């Protein structure tokens, strides 16, 4: 499965160093899991009632702005069986104050051994605010 995640520079450095990154966000029982998890979004995942919008990093930032760290957006390849599936509830940026449900996948932890970095983009908020194209890096520096 190909997934993406917005993260801090600190988390990205931990990933690059091969450290195990554990979940810090607790999902409530009603949301899905009732345990600490790390949230990812599958590339091309669906958004309920918004079939014209695909879940891609550049589009997802519209409804994740202010919720996620925007220092790095990383795209990973990982085995499907690592994840549990669910849906997150987000404010619909196209129909405020309505909400929408977005496909998400969760894992209690992740590390370099199980998640292959495909590409990453630095400073997503700067790129987004300027309407520039996102510059995706393929080499880890």
pTM of this prediction? 0.81
In this structure, the chain runs to a length of 141
- As a three-state string, the secondary structure of 15-41 is HHCCCCEECCEECCCCCCCCCEEEEEE
Write the pLDDT tens digit of every residue in 43-90.
876 555 554 455 778 777 777 777 788 889 999 999 999 998 888 888
Q: Is the pLDDT of residue 26 over 90?
A: no
Strand ranges for 8-115 from DSSP E: 21-22, 25-26, 36-42, 72-77, 84-91, 99-107, 109-110
Distance CA 6, CA 92 (A): 19
């Amino acid at each position: 499965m190909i997934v993406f995640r917005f993260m801090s520079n600190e988390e990205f450095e931990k990933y690059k160093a091969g450290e195990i990154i554990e979940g810090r966000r607790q999902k409530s029982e009603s949301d899905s899991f009732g345990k600490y998890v790390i949230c990812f979004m599958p590339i091309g995942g669906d958004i309920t009632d918004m079939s014209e919008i695909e879940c891609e990093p550049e589009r997802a930032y519209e409804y994740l702005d202010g919720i996620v760290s925007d220092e790095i957006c990383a795209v990973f390849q990982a085995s499907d069986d690592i994840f549990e599936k669910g849906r997150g509830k987000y404010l619909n940026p196209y129909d405020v104050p309505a909400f929408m449900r977005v496909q998400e996948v969760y894992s209690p932890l992740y590390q370099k051994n199980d998640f292959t970095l495909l590409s990453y983009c630095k400073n997503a908020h700067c790129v987004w605010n300027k309407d520039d194209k996102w510059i995706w890096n393929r080499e880890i520096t």
